[in-house]
Amino acid sequence: MKDFSEMNPGLRLELIIINEDGEWAGGPYITQLLEPVSGDETLIAMPIHRSNLVPLSTGCSIHLSFLDEKTGQMGFQAEVVKTISQERVKALRIRLTGELT
């Protein structure tokens, strides 16, 4: 898996916020893949913690991980490109900044 095109909408993701030094700054939070936008960009739901949305600003660095049926635990670094209100769902457009590993 090299990009978002092979990931299915509804995939459960665990999100961790990364600070400027590349270290943990918050999370883990639960979110899900909404829809791939392009090979290196996708929409995810705004993460939730204790029934509340966790707002993330444009430019925020995040690490997302998920369970792949074929390869097991996978993860990648991404950056928040834009916050979107889509119907009744708050979403984040994110861009892949590292390899899927």
The pLDDT, as a whole number, for residue 40 is: 87
Instruction: Locate the domains of the chain by residue range.
Output: 4-96
**Top-level CATH class of 4-96?**
mainly beta
Q: Which residue type does 64 have?
A: L
**How much is the pLDDT for 15?**
98
pLDDT tens per residue, range 3-24: 677 788 999 999 999 999 999 9
Q: Which positions of the chain have pLDDT values less than 70?
A: 1-3
Per-residue confidence (pLDDT) for residue 1, from 0 to 100: 52
